[in-house]
Structure 1
Amino acid sequence: MERSTKQRRVLYPFAALAGQEELQLGLLLHAVNPRLGGILIRGEKGTAKSTAVRGLAEMLPDIQAVAGCPYHCDPEDKSKACADCRSDEGEWQTFAMPVPVIDIPVSATEDRVVGSLDFEQAIKAGRRAFLPGLLGEANRGIIYIDEINLLDDHIVDVLLDAAGSGLNVVEREGISITHPTEFILVGTMNPEEGDLRPQLLDRFALCVEVAGLTDREARVEIIKRREAFESDPAAFRQEWQPEQDKLRAKVVAARKLLPAVAVPDKRYEMISRLCTEAYAAGHRADIMLVRAAAALAAWRGHQAITGEDVLDIAPLVLAHRRREPPEDAETPQQQQQEQPEPPEDQSDELEQQDNPPPPPPGNQQQEEQQQDNKDDKEDNDNNQEASSSAEVVFAIGKPFAIKRITMDKDRQARRGSGRRSRTKTDSSVGRYVKSTCHRERDDLAIDATIRAAAPFQRSRKSNGMAVVIETSDIREKVREKRIGNFMLFVVDASGSMGAKQRMIETKGAILSLLQDAYQKRDRVGMVAFKGDHAEVLLPPTNSVEMAQKCLVELPVGGKTPLAAGLVKAQKVIRQHLQRSPHMRPIVVILSDGKANVAMADGKPLAEAHRVAENMREEFDIKYIVVDTEQKGLLSFGKAQELAVRLGAEYCTIDQLKVDGLVDIVRGALA
């Protein structure tokens, strides 16, 4: 019923779209060559992404399919038919059908996507039968996923496997099924909501960036067309029907021409050069660019791919594959501008100046002198910080991609949505991991229920049923899903953070973490400590924009009340857990670990360590200490000691970066 309802939906004519020529071209090229490889549409809200995809269905010619086959196998290609069609020795009955366009919602379950045991057949007939899922329905058609970047990871893994192999292999609930899954993957997404996994991103042949129009006349035309469609859809579609027919006829002609389109050798070389200059990973970019250029040539009526065809389609193929050049890569201009190397004796002298030789081993007096200098430097830093009461607002450093931050999976079922931590859930949405006999909701585990009832069938009255199930046999599914967390930032805003513009880099790290929190659907809060107290700059909120505003306006100056900052964070966490006990906190402390102001009598640093140890014992929370101290010849290691007291994960700002983490791993392996 759901599918027929979608087919009766009155669609906005594809030809009536205004100002999205690049998007229309990318979709039409897939109509010309359905095996092109899929298209990803990235853009802001309200730019006709979904409207264009749904309108594409009317541009596709009907396909011939085997009658009675749930996967509508191709009668002209028996090698790609399902097992039932191959085993049929008679003559196939065929029929014409529209190309299936299957929507996969973000909330889709794994059972619905891959298929599952037909429970009705199992109970009534006592036989194991497979109920095809959305992958089976989408064979030889289109899979459309709106907001594909929000899809659960385990569903993405299933799609990747099916798209790569062209087969859906189901081994579950006592059944073993393999059926063909050849489909065009069309996804839309808003980049502000987070990016895709690289493995899935590379599967798309084309990527189109769409944006709202800025031309006033074009925007007025869009409004007029939309109002005309909504007031009388039938009349509006009739008005645009000639243009629709022209596009459909052009698609049919291009399909016939496509097999005859030639690819000259010089075009192969041109394509290889473009992909190399874009630093595209692997060879899929080259292959996709050849296919896309051939489809564009056929669309334009060319007998062979021209250089213009390649250059026009290359931005769509390379938009999501283009990478930054490696650090050691040099352009010809850079090579010409290189300065001659200094003579050997001069370079040796410069190297000695930059890197003074270490003291000889066993020199006890020199080692003690270095330790005294280190202690004196720390005292000077603290004194400078204590005397620096002027507040300065530093700019925000450049954000960067951070390594993945997750919580350990816990046994408590939690509510909410998000993309960070995996947890048990009491909803019917999530990955089915096991079954339970405790009944709390109507989420039936068919396989486990039948297995529980099977040993007692001989002693039960069948009453015409192949399998008799009693109440004690019923099992429910235990599911897992990803949810967001509460991320509390505890920021050192004392005067020492202004040394060597340390706060610029720290703000860049916080902005990077905030962007990650937005993509993972986390709630965020911010506590800052400086002078003689700590304050809550931002109570727990879903608005990352407010957090960024607080970050921009955050001043630096005064002493370092580290203990006060930790106590304030402890209070915020307690209040949060009382209001939202299902959302687990992640506390990110950005500091050099120093302290020179105590809340009571005693040494400031010892007091801060006592508070940290209490926080570690009181809460089941993930703590991360980001060391803001710039490493040099003299490093105090105070932040690392704080991490030990908290039981926290310790890292520097460089180690927080994805690239920095890779360098650490490489160094360890070397």
Structure 2
Amino acid sequence: MAAALLAVDPTGLGGAVLRAPHGAARDAWLARLRGLLPAGAPWRRLPPNAPDDRLIGGIDLAATLATGRLRLERGALPDADGGVVVIPMAERLTQAAAGRYAAVLDTAEVTLERDGATARWPASLAVVALDESAGEDERVPPSLTDRLALHLPLDPGSAMGPGPDESGVAAARAALGEVRASDEVLLALCEASLAFGIGSPRAPTLALRTARAAAALDGRRDVVEADVVLAARLVLAPRATSLPAAPEEAPPPPAEEPGDADGGPPKDGSDLSEIVVAAMRAALPAGLLATLASALRGRASAADGRSGAPVKDGQRGRVLGARPGPLRAGSRIALIETLRSAAPWQTIRRRASGDHARPVLIRAEDIRLRRHEARSGTTTLFAVDASGSSALHRLAEAKGAIELLLGDCYARRDRVALVAFRGTEASTLLPPTQAPARARRCLAAMPGGGATPLASAIDMARALADAERRQGRQPLLVLVTDARPNVARDGRTGREAGEADALSAAALLRAAGVSTLMVDTAPRPHAYGRALAGALGARYVPLPQADAAALSTVVAAARSA
């Protein structure tokens, strides 16, 4: 049914996010959609890393050099005008690439302004983003999914059921402009969006378009309750981020007056809203809300690849494009972009120089250099309080959390380090490593007991973070402590000196710009713990009853943010 709805109003619905691995079920869904589109409708399949000149267009280098005049060529998006663009592995789209598609969906045209050329082409199309991500930490960028009406999880083992045929879809497409929806329908969709925590104003609009397409497919000219319920399930339910509040018990209805028993007015907007909310609640898959909350918590850049800050203009990584600049040692010339820059000037240069022997005349200002962006890795630095009576169970929790994170860090090419502090000093038990076996050996031998030299631990963590930054990696410090320091930097014992030095060390760490998560494991979190987190500029998480799984979850969320 979803494929038929999209075929009825491709540009109105914007497209679909199809979450499914490569397989027969996904291919069958795409084949059905393509078969229901108008004859001759363009169908383009574009990789997630397609460059701008492939998407938008640019200078036709061969034609420009042959004629001596600027010639432009259209990209794949204007070529797909009136059709559908399919993006496999869409979870790998960068924010910039998603923005290109979003702009086309918003304006139904492509604007080319580059290399001294300006052009506009119509590009009224739909996008099918194939989400092949295996985990919850990868998602298609929200800037694109917000504009795609249908979000469809597809079971690889499912079979396609019967649906409308091509003639039925064509008739619905022709009659779509005559389908009407009442104000109560729009009100019900808006209220359902608010009830389920959907903040985007596009969601109820896309749901309304879906309801109109459903009515057209059923041969009706008015949107009815069944159309609204279907639209809510397909468009609104996958976007839900919270459950609606339980409704208050309504007072009993007044006794019916004589003569009122023969029917009554149709359902008003409030009744329809309740029906839509109930339908959405029933349509929510198990665990969907937790999944969406995790995705919204900090994966704005999930599609940009693994964690770490972008490092631009290096010699490795994804090619961002080209920029003008002088040639230096290690620079890499973007040949095509350089020729494009030089092409419009060939006739003038030949006349000025009289040089007709060389095929292309290149000047220094034509040189374009490649721009690269690589993702720096992330190093998670655990600084764990191994002091006193709390050492045994706190160390067990830290060990368990690191064990849970090691596999994930190894897959992401991230590193883990461990600093333990007790007695009069802190020590690096596990230097930054990607080796799981080495990490496990160090964890097994971690000692415990003694006083709390918190200032020394923060200083040591800052030194490790600086070393990781010099190697091009982004450090994240996870400080696990009950925030009761009693040892100063110089080894003197005493609560007052220990707390003062810890705050001083925290200020230095914050000035160094190290991202920090402070997990307060005190049975009763106290004011000094919050003050220390403020001095660190850290996210403060009190977990008095933390276990390994809870600690691992908190750290993973902080790394993703």
Q: What TM-score, normalized to structure 1?
A: 0.57
Aligned partner of residue 213 in structure 2, secondary structure: helix
Q: Provide the residue aligned with 2:276 in structure 1.
A: none
1:29-40 to 2 correspondence within 5 Å?
Answer: 29-40=5-16
- What does the per-residue CA deviation read over 1:246-268, in whole Å, with 9 as the maximum and x for residues that have no partner? 83344334334444444456544
* Distance (whole Å) between structure 2 residues aligned to residue 497 and residue 330 of structure 1: 45
Q: Does 1:639 align with 2:532?
A: yes
* Distance (whole Å) between structure 2 residues aligned to residue 188 and residue 570 of structure 1: 42
Of structures 1 and 2, the larger Rg is shown by 1
Q: Please report how far the alpha carbon of residue 469 of structure 1 lies from its aligned counterpart in structure 2 after TM superposition.
A: 1.7
* Distance (whole Å) between structure 1 residues aligned to residue 295 and residue 164 of structure 2: 47
Q: Provide the residue aligned with 1:184 in structure 2.
A: 126
Supply the AA of the counterpart residue of 1:281. G
Q: Provide the residue aligned with 1:131 in structure 2.
A: 73
CA gap of 1:320–1:246, structure 2 versus 1, over 3 A, is: closer
Determine if contact 2:68/2:343 at 8 Å carries over to the other structure: no
CA gap of 1:614–1:624, structure 2 versus 1, over 3 A, is: closer
* Distance (whole Å) between structure 2 residues aligned to residue 541 and residue 484 of structure 1: 15
Supply the AA of the counterpart residue of 1:129. R
Q: Please report how far the alpha carbon of residue 151 of structure 1 lies from its aligned counterpart in structure 2 after TM superposition.
A: 0.9
Q: Provide the residue aligned with 2:549 in structure 1.
A: none
Q: Please report how far the alpha carbon of residue 438 of structure 1 lies from its aligned counterpart in structure 2 after TM superposition.
A: 1.8
1:14-413 to 2 correspondence within 5 Å?
Answer: 25-41=1-17, 43=19, 45=21, 50-52=26-28, 54-56=30-32, 58-63=34-39, 97=40, 99-189=41-131, 190=133, 192-213=136-157, 247-263=165-181, 267-324=185-242, 331-333=247-249
Supply the AA of the counterpart residue of 1:107. N
* Distance (whole Å) between structure 2 residues aligned to residue 575 and residue 293 of structure 1: 57
1:548-563 to 2 correspondence within 5 Å?
Answer: 559-562=451-454
Q: Please report how far the alpha carbon of residue 456 of structure 1 lies from its aligned counterpart in structure 2 after TM superposition.
A: 4.8
- What does the per-residue CA deviation read over 1:20-64, in whole Å, with 9 as the maximum and x for residues that have no partner? xxxxx222211122223234435464565752454245413445x
Q: Please report how far the alpha carbon of residue 542 of structure 1 lies from its aligned counterpart in structure 2 after TM superposition.
A: 9.9
Aligned partner of residue 517 in structure 2, secondary structure: strand
Q: Provide the residue aligned with 1:376 in structure 2.
A: none
Supply the AA of the counterpart residue of 1:278. F
Determine if contact 1:168/1:181 at 8 Å carries over to the other structure: yes
Aligned partner of residue 192 in structure 1, secondary structure: coil
CA gap of 1:187–1:488, structure 2 versus 1, over 3 A, is: same
Determine if contact 1:589/1:624 at 8 Å carries over to the other structure: no
Determine if contact 1:140/1:183 at 8 Å carries over to the other structure: yes
Aligned partner of residue 35 in structure 1, secondary structure: helix
CA gap of 1:574–1:244, structure 2 versus 1, over 3 A, is: same
Q: Provide the residue aligned with 1:664 in structure 2.
A: none
Q: Does 1:652 align with 2:516?
A: no
Which of 373, 377, 381 is residue 481 of structure 1 equivalent to? 373
- What does the per-residue CA deviation read over 1:463-507, in whole Å, with 9 as the maximum and x for residues that have no partner? 388x842475651334243514223132334468969x9999x98
* Distance (whole Å) between structure 1 residues aligned to residue 297 and residue 510 of structure 2: 25
Which of 328, 334, 339 is residue 443 of structure 1 equivalent to? 334
- What does the per-residue CA deviation read over 1:491-550, in whole Å, with 9 as the maximum and x for residues that have no partner? 334468969x9999x98xx89x979x98x956141425254565657964499xx999x9
CA gap of 1:103–1:583, structure 2 versus 1, over 3 A, is: farther
Q: Please report how far the alpha carbon of residue 633 of structure 1 lies from its aligned counterpart in structure 2 after TM superposition.
A: 7.4
Determine if contact 2:15/2:128 at 8 Å carries over to the other structure: yes
Determine if contact 2:530/2:540 at 8 Å carries over to the other structure: no
Q: Please report how far the alpha carbon of residue 177 of structure 1 lies from its aligned counterpart in structure 2 after TM superposition.
A: 0.7
CA gap of 1:249–1:455, structure 2 versus 1, over 3 A, is: closer
Q: Provide the residue aligned with 1:527 in structure 2.
A: 418
Aligned partner of residue 58 in structure 2, secondary structure: strand
Q: Provide the residue aligned with 1:421 in structure 2.
A: 309
CA gap of 1:590–1:462, structure 2 versus 1, over 3 A, is: farther
* Distance (whole Å) between structure 2 residues aligned to residue 307 and residue 503 of structure 1: 58
* Distance (whole Å) between structure 1 residues aligned to residue 223 and residue 298 of structure 2: 43
Aligned partner of residue 41 in structure 1, secondary structure: strand
Supply the AA of the counterpart residue of 2:418. V
* Distance (whole Å) between structure 2 residues aligned to residue 44 and residue 279 of structure 1: 25
Q: CA RMSD in A?
A: 5.3
Supply the AA of the counterpart residue of 1:165. T
Q: Provide the residue aligned with 1:460 in structure 2.
A: 353
Aligned partner of residue 239 in structure 2, secondary structure: coil
Determine if contact 2:379/2:468 at 8 Å carries over to the other structure: no
Q: Provide the residue aligned with 2:514 in structure 1.
A: 623
* Distance (whole Å) between structure 2 residues aligned to residue 497 and residue 332 of structure 1: 49
Gaps of 5+ in 2: 253-292, 543-553
CA gap of 1:557–1:638, structure 2 versus 1, over 3 A, is: farther
Aligned partner of residue 11 in structure 2, secondary structure: coil
- What does the per-residue CA deviation read over 1:547-568, in whole Å, with 9 as the maximum and x for residues that have no partner? 99x99xx999764354675687
* Distance (whole Å) between structure 2 residues aligned to residue 314 and residue 555 of structure 1: 56
Q: What TM-score, normalized to structure 2?
A: 0.67
Determine if contact 1:115/1:133 at 8 Å carries over to the other structure: yes
* Distance (whole Å) between structure 2 residues aligned to residue 636 and residue 267 of structure 1: 51
- What does the per-residue CA deviation read over 1:407-436, in whole Å, with 9 as the maximum and x for residues that have no partner? xxxxxxxxx964642322335843336222
Determine if contact 1:437/1:474 at 8 Å carries over to the other structure: no
Determine if contact 2:58/2:72 at 8 Å carries over to the other structure: yes
Determine if contact 1:38/1:205 at 8 Å carries over to the other structure: yes
Supply the AA of the counterpart residue of 2:17. I
Comparing 167-176 with 293-302, which one deviates more in the overlay? 293-302
Supply the AA of the counterpart residue of 2:64. A
Q: Please report how far the alpha carbon of residue 317 of structure 1 lies from its aligned counterpart in structure 2 after TM superposition.
A: 0.8
Supply the AA of the counterpart residue of 1:274. A
Q: Please report how far the alpha carbon of residue 188 of structure 1 lies from its aligned counterpart in structure 2 after TM superposition.
A: 2.1
Q: Please report how far the alpha carbon of residue 211 of structure 1 lies from its aligned counterpart in structure 2 after TM superposition.
A: 3.9
Q: Please report how far the alpha carbon of residue 575 of structure 1 lies from its aligned counterpart in structure 2 after TM superposition.
A: 8.7
Q: Please report how far the alpha carbon of residue 107 of structure 1 lies from its aligned counterpart in structure 2 after TM superposition.
A: 1.8
Q: How many residues align?
A: 479
Supply the AA of the counterpart residue of 2:36. L
Determine if contact 1:423/1:482 at 8 Å carries over to the other structure: yes
- What does the per-residue CA deviation read over 1:128-162, in whole Å, with 9 as the maximum and x for residues that have no partner? 22221122122111121223232111112222112
Q: Provide the residue aligned with 2:265 in structure 1.
A: none
Determine if contact 1:142/1:184 at 8 Å carries over to the other structure: yes
Comparing 29-38 with 163-172, which one deviates more in the overlay? 29-38
